[in-house]
Amino acid sequence: MPQTRTCWWSAATALLLVAALLLAPGPAFAKTELQFWHAMTGQLGEAVNELVKQFNESQSEYEVKPLRKGTYAETLTAAIAAYRQRQAPHIVQVFEVGTQTMMLSGAVLPVFELMKEQEIAVDWKDFIAPVVGYYSKDGNLYSMPFNSSTPILYYNKDAFQKAGLDPNKPPQTWKQVEEYSKKLISSGATKCGFSTGWPSWVQVENMHALHDQPFASKRNGFDGLDVQLLINREFGVKHLGQLAAWQKDNIFSYGGRAGTADPKFLSGECGMYMQSSALIGGFTKGAKFKWGTGQLPQWGAPYKKATSIIGGATLWVMKGKPAVENRGTARFLKFISDTNQQMWWHVTTGYLAISNSAVKNLETAQHFKRNPDQFTAFAQLTKGAATPNSQGLRLGNFVQIRDVIESEMENIIAGKKSAKQGLDDAAARSNDILKEFAAANKQ
Amino acid sequence: MQRTVFKSRWLPYLLVAPQVAVTVLFFFWPALKSLQLSLYRVSPFGDKSTFVGLENFTKLLADPDYYTSVLNSFLFAGGVTALSVVGALVLAGLATQKIRGLGVYRTLLLWPYGIAPAVAGIIFLFIFHPAYGILPYFLSFVTAYEFNWLLKGWVAMTLVIGATAWTHLGYNIAFYIAGLLAIPASVMEAADVDGAGPLRRFTAIVFPLVSPITFYLVVLNMVFAFFESFGVIDAVTKGGPGQATEIMVYKLYKDGFIGLNLGSSGAQSVILMAMVIGLTVLQFRFAERKVTYR
């Protein structure tokens, strides 16, 4: 009998708790939530949160929830896994090398279609050419440009001064890079001449584009899926062979993949550094010496000077969401591409301003005069010949391909393989990967 | 050994059920899914999947990169096991002497086992770093050779083997201490009286008596080095330079999660699983005879 009484009491308490939860006061009309997955950390992550907050506070129907899912690769993997579970986020930030994978996935709602459906007018022509070129198919933008960068040259002005070089004249040719490096080392100003971040992106992809050399067949992959890499031709062999030779004299000092070589520049070990323009903000805070920027060095004749290609990421909209939520997504994307928001984003993060109006406004406000380093990237992207070889790259499984290229680059720089052998192997392995992608995406 | 007798018929099953559920959910089911995945070519987002039979396997077996990763795995596992087991025996021997502060020493020896492999990797990264690492700094006084693990494959391999072996020392030492303490003092004293030196005592008495432990630890360390060494590699070398530290489990991750080639990754998991099962069976068959149980 006592047991039954305890039983009744427990049941009554449980019921009371449930009732309390159900009747608890909540928002009368909850905002529709939109999930936004991204890969920005540190100062950039804070900027994303701030931007999202601005949107959320500007209207009362939608609430965008930003969530950092890890690195770019981890964010993409998470989005794919979530999509397979039918729990995809609304917006996902995917890096430039994931473009082909996203475009052919059948899991995305192209941005131009979204805006058309939602009847939101966007001035597509206002976006800068390199960005539009990279992320469009048949003249329509598939993803919303968000954080675009391009690699530039950073150099240590204090070290230049110590070595007897003009601190306001960064090297413009590779011959000058060699010359300046030798002076930096012999004067004891630095231990090495220059290093690089993102070896494949900077030294292979961008170098080919800048010198008007094709990276892959079929117009760098834009014209079809049966693509082959062309990095093992004369230009590639010349450039990487030179890097390997320079490694021996410390003119070039390899520092690893992605951004692991950043400390080489920040510590003053190397006098020059080639990395994304998005590091301007970080260097401004972290560098303990005077530094400047310049465009990436060129070989000169017989190679024509073209433009570099963009890096960074864009925002993709996932398919399968109800119209009400798509409307919120569309409004958020329109908000971040507005001129004011773009200017704010550029000034805060150092990423490029991606619309011509934003650039014009910044010019009028003398922003570039006060921050000439911010203009370097923009100039490199737009003030050269725009050739078919410098529009960007569209390759499937590009993440894997970059990994293959960087691993063969390590073999070349370490002297284990000649530049020709290493590049031949990189091309062969990459072509296999491309074939696999084409087979898996037979259209 | 006492056998526990349960009064009710279903209680034992109920008690074991959660563990069985976990094992099935987290071990058997993913293994079966991998097997299934290895027979398909799947698009990254899962919308297109074609049955390709054993094509993923044949492609792997024809790929020289795959053989490189197998070789690396054996090199890595062998190095980790040798270093960790031998080192543990030596250190356990030292930790069973009658000296002051024995408890402190033992704690310090066991401590590194609690460190996550990725963290251990980072620690060794800082020790080995060509620019600001302590080891290259000291070595530079002895030789002009540059121990740059970013470019020299063997240095990178040494780094990851060292980091992995170091984390696992604690586990091995714990077992060896127990084993050494179980050797009756009378046997050692008798040998000493008979004129056996320390080396003879070790080879004739200690080593055979701890051989069951050695056998167990060798098997365990090899399996650990094949499967659970992902953390160190990912945190430090990411398979580089070139492909010097790309072991099978890391190549599997790269192809599956970075390259989004899930079919090939599944095939690699199946092969890895078969290999480790085979290794374990082989070791049990062979070493069982050489091990002396009391």
Nearest to A410 among B43, B44, B241 (CB): B241
Residue B243's closest CA among A406, A350, A368, A255? A406
Is the sign of the CA dihedral B269, B270, B272, B273 positive or negative? positive
B-proximal residues of A, 410-429, CB under 8 Å = 410-411, 413-414, 416, 429
Chunk chain A into consecutive blocks of 10 residues (it has 443) and report each block's average pLDDT, rounded to whole numbers.
Answer: 61 69 58 93 88 93 93 88 89 92 90 92 86 88 92 95 94 95 94 94 95 94 93 95 95 90 91 92 85 94 89 93 93 92 88 88 88 87 84 88 93 93 95 88 68
A-proximal residues of B, 88-147, CB under 8 Å = 131-132
Pairing of strands A151-156, A62-68: unpaired
Q: In this complex, how many residue pairs, one in chain A and one in chain B, have their CB atoms less than 8 Å apart?
A: 86
The more confident residue out of B101 and B20 is B20
Both tokens of B8, joined, read: 């009710």
* Residue at A364: amino acid letter: T
* Interface contact A73, partner B, CB < 8 A: yes
* Interface contact B68, partner A, CB < 8 A: no
CA distance A275 to A154: 8
Catalogue the E-assigned strands of A150-303: 151-156, 192-196, 270-276, 291-294
CB contact under 8 A, A83 and B260: no
pLDDT of the residue at A43: 80
pLDDT of the residue at B1: 60
Nearest to A413 among B47, B50, B151 (CB): B151
Note the Cα B167 to chain centre separation in Å. Answer: 10
Overall size of chain B counted in residues: 294
Residue B42 belongs to some domain of the structure: no
Kind and range of the H or E element at A405? helix A398-413
Contacts of residue B93, Cβ cutoff 8 Å, sequence gap at least 6: B176, B180, B206
CA distance A101 to A94: 10
* Number of independent structural domains in chain B: 1
CA distance B186 to A291: 74
B-proximal residues of A, 16-35, CB under 8 Å = none
Q: Identify all chain B residues contacting A264, using CB atoms and an 8 Å cutoff.
A: 131
Q: Which residue has the tokens 């030492």?
A: B173
CA distance B17 to B23: 10
CB contact under 8 A, A397 and B259: yes
B-proximal residues of A, 185-224, CB under 8 Å = none
* Interface contact A262, partner B, CB < 8 A: no
Q: Tell me the C-alpha to C-alpha distance, in Å, between residue B157 and each of A403, A409, A413, B74, B137.
A: 19, 18, 18, 12, 19
Contacts of residue B109, Cβ cutoff 8 Å, sequence gap at least 6: B91, B95, B169, B170, B173
Nearest to A403 among B45, B131, B258 (CB): B258
pLDDT of the residue at A7: 63
Both tokens of A349, joined, read: 């993060």
Residue B55 belongs to some domain of the structure: yes
What count of other Cβ atoms lies within 10 Å of the Cβ of residue A50?
13
Q: Which residue has the tokens 């630890």?
A: B217
* Interface contact A269, partner B, CB < 8 A: yes
pLDDT of the residue at A400: 85
pLDDT of the residue at B142: 84
Cα-based angle B137, B139, B142 (whole degrees, multiple of 5): 125
pLDDT of the residue at A28: 47
CB contact under 8 A, B241 and A429: no
Q: Which residues pair with A156 in a beta bridge?
A: A291
* Residue at B98: amino acid letter: K
Nearest to A255 among B44, B150, B240 (CB): B150
* Interface contact B256, partner A, CB < 8 A: no
Q: Please provide the average confidence, as pLDDT, over all residues in chain B.
A: 86
Average confidence (pLDDT) over B44-57: 84
pLDDT of the residue at A52: 95
CB contact under 8 A, B41 and A397: no
* Interface contact A250, partner B, CB < 8 A: no
CB contact under 8 A, A400 and B255: yes
End-to-end CA distance of chain A: 73
Q: Identify all chain A residues contacting B43, using CB atoms and an 8 Å cutoff.
A: 105, 440-441
Q: Tell me the C-alpha to C-alpha distance, in Å, between residue B85 and each of A168, B171, B203, B251.
A: 59, 10, 16, 26
Average confidence (pLDDT) over B153-180: 91
Catalogue the E-assigned strands of A40-143: 62-68, 91-95, 108-109, 136-137, 140-141
Q: Identify all chain B residues contacting A439, using CB atoms and an 8 Å cutoff.
A: 41
Residue in B with minimal Cα distance to A106: B47
Are the beta carbons of B268 and B252 closer than 8 angstroms? yes
Residue in A with minimal Cα distance to B240: A407
CB contact under 8 A, B239 and A407: yes
Is the sign of the CA dihedral A177, A183, A186, A188 positive or negative? negative
Q: Which residue has the tokens 């004891």?
A: A188
Residue in A with minimal Cα distance to B129: A255
DSSP state of B255: I
* Interface contact B51, partner A, CB < 8 A: no
CB contact under 8 A, B243 and A80: no
Round the CA-based radius of gyration of chain B to a whole number and report it: 23
Q: Identify all chain A residues contacting B45, using CB atoms and an 8 Å cutoff.
A: 80, 83-84, 105-107
Are the beta carbons of B235 and B121 closer than 8 angstroms? yes
Are the beta carbons of A122 and A115 closer than 8 angstroms? yes
Residue B41 belongs to some domain of the structure: no
DSSP state of B54: T
Is the sign of the CA dihedral A176, A177, A183, A187 positive or negative? positive
Residue B277's closest CA among B269, B287, B267, B266? B269
Contacts of residue B183, Cβ cutoff 8 Å, sequence gap at least 6: B205, B206, B209, B210
CA distance B211 to chain A (A): 42
* Residue at A154: amino acid letter: Y
Q: Tell me the C-alpha to C-alpha distance, in Å, between residue B289 and each of A362, B2, B212.
A: 80, 28, 11
Nearest to A105 among B45, B255, B261 (CB): B45
Q: Which residue has the tokens 């396997």?
A: B57
* Interface contact A83, partner B, CB < 8 A: yes
CA distance A306 to B55: 43
Both tokens of B279, joined, read: 């290794």
Nearest to A440 among B43, B242, B243 (CB): B43
Are the beta carbons of A297 and A152 closer than 8 angstroms? no
Q: Model's pTM, two decimal places?
A: 0.84
CB contact under 8 A, B43 and A414: no
Catalogue the E-assigned strands of chain B: 40-42, 49-51
CB contact under 8 A, A407 and B152: no
pLDDT of the residue at A133: 83
Nearest to B241 among A73, A414, A441 (CB): A414
Domains of chain A by range and CATH?
Answer: 34-149+310-364 (3.40.190.10), 151-308+388-440 (3.40.190.10)
To test the contact with chain A by mutation, choose from B41, B45, B56, B154 the residue with the greatest count of A C-beta atoms within 10 A, namely: B45
Q: Identify all chain A residues contacting B261, using CB atoms and an 8 Å cutoff.
A: 397, 400, 436
Q: Tell me the C-alpha to C-alpha distance, in Å, between residue A235 and each of A205, A212, A308, A379.
A: 12, 10, 16, 24
- SS3 for A305? coil
CA distance A108 to chain B (A): 10
Q: What is the CATH number of the domain that holds B103?
A: 1.10.3720.10
Say what the ipTM of the complex is. Answer: 0.78
DSSP string, A96-114: GGGHHHHHTSS-EE-HHHH
* Residue at B274: amino acid letter: A
Summarised one tens digit per residue, pLDDT across range B120-151 is 888 888 888 877 788 888 888 888 777 788 88
To test the contact with chain B by mutation, choose from A416, A421, A443 the residue with the greatest count of B C-beta atoms within 10 A, namely: A416
Are the beta carbons of B145 and B183 closer than 8 angstroms? no
Contacts of residue B6, Cβ cutoff 8 Å, sequence gap at least 6: B12
Residue B39 belongs to some domain of the structure: no
Q: Is A120 left (phi over 0), alpha (psi -120 to 50) or beta?
A: beta
CA distance B73 to B289: 27
* Residue at B253: amino acid letter: Y
The more confident residue out of B192 and A28 is B192
Residue B230 belongs to some domain of the structure: yes
* Interface contact A431, partner B, CB < 8 A: no
Are the beta carbons of A245 and A129 closer than 8 angstroms? no
Residue A212's closest CA among A295, A305, A133, A150? A305
Is the sign of the CA dihedral B152, B155, B161, B164 positive or negative? negative
Summarised one tens digit per residue, pLDDT across range B206-258 is 888 888 889 889 988 998 898 888 888 888 888 878 888 999 999 999 888 88
Q: Which residues pair with A154 in a beta bridge?
A: A273, A293
Instruction: Quote the domain boundaries for residue B78.
Output: 47-290
Residue A104's closest CA among A394, A320, A427? A394
Residue A410's closest CA among B161, B220, B155, B39? B155
DSSP string, A19-46: HHHHHS---SSPPEEEEEEE---HHHHH
CA distance B57 to A370: 59
Residue B247 belongs to some domain of the structure: yes
